[in-house]
Amino acid sequence: MRVVSLLPSTTEILFALGAGDDVVGVTFECDHPAQARERRVVSTSTMPEGLSPREIDDFVKASLERGDDLYHLQADALAELDPDLVVTQDLCAVCAIDVTAVDEAMAYLGCRADVLTFDPHTIDEVLASVISVGDAVGRRAEADALVRSLRERLAAVADAVAGTERPRVLVLEWTDPPFAPGHWIPEMVIAAGGEPVLGVAGERSEQTTWDAAVAAAPDVVICAPCGYDLDGAAEQAAVVAEHFPGVPVWAVDANGSYARPGPRVVDGVEALAGILHPERVGQPDSVATRQMSGLMRRPPGSQRLGP
């Protein structure tokens, strides 16, 4: 089977299921695992490089208002790869090529590949999507095993943080302007033993204000700007911390474990649990998290239950 993956998350899923050799085309953002970089790139961004978060937000909003595409699908590359399956999304026009553009390109090219649309909004839907991808590439047993292991890890976190005091957690999916989280991220906070403030699970992220963010009175702030790795998030978190004196502010690898609806969402839950409840699950991995300011207050009598 020849597969073109137009999402970093589905590229990760395909490789995790052992179908990496079937992947012949990817996007310019597909960077995990490292082998994905060896595949032909079939989609690129129309956004100039080097923009600040504010400039990126301005560019995206202006493009959407004009009806311009934020991504470019290289039709010639798609035709030359002659895929049997194309995996795309109908989740967010800002995140990747929309399924409508894919359908139009394939119709123009006369391409007969099957199209699998990826559209998860919750953690359960992310895990269900792993099964869908597994079915599509003939690896249902591998998908079942992967989902089972991911659910076991989520259950282990739930057991570790059960009965603890739940700190109020503000996750910022963007920082200039600030955006409250949506989709699966509020669920991640709950799974990690926190209480999310602002944002609604299963819904789209929404722009907010610094006044509203501060008024939400978070006990901890997580800076997880979509499209940024840990270093990029840390740069923005240093500015975010100025709005929350005395409140712990953490930067996380948003691309790795938060923004992309793939297996590493569970890594993100584990990292959040480490931030919120290190006495129960151990300190978070410094490769994926970085504390920028503040100290978490621990409830009296708490004890570590994790390994």
Q: Residue 89: what pLDDT?
A: 73
pLDDT in tens, 2-19: 999 989 999 999 999 999
Residue with tokens 């923005």: 236
Question: What's the pLDDT at 69?
Answer: 73
Give the pLDDT band of residue 303 (cuts 50, 70, 90). very low
Cβ neighbors of 35 (< 8 A, separation 6 or more) are: 15, 20
223 and 250 Cβ atoms separated by less than 8 Å: yes
Mean pLDDT score, 110-134: 90
Hey, which of 98-102, 209-213, 297-301 has the most confident mean pLDDT?
209-213
Indicate if the pLDDT at residue 299 is higher than 60. no
**With pLDDT > 70 as the criterion, what percentage of the chain qualifies?**
89
Residue-wise pLDDT tens digits, 142-181: 999 999 999 999 999 999 999 999 999 999 999 999 999 9
Contact 252, 258 (CB under 8 A): yes
Cα separation, 31 vs 29, in Å, equals: 6
pLDDT (0 to 100) of residue 75: 77
Greatest CA span in the chain, whole angstroms?
Answer: 66
Q: Rounded to whole angstroms, what are the CA distances from 6 to 129, 214, 252, 300?
A: 15, 37, 24, 48
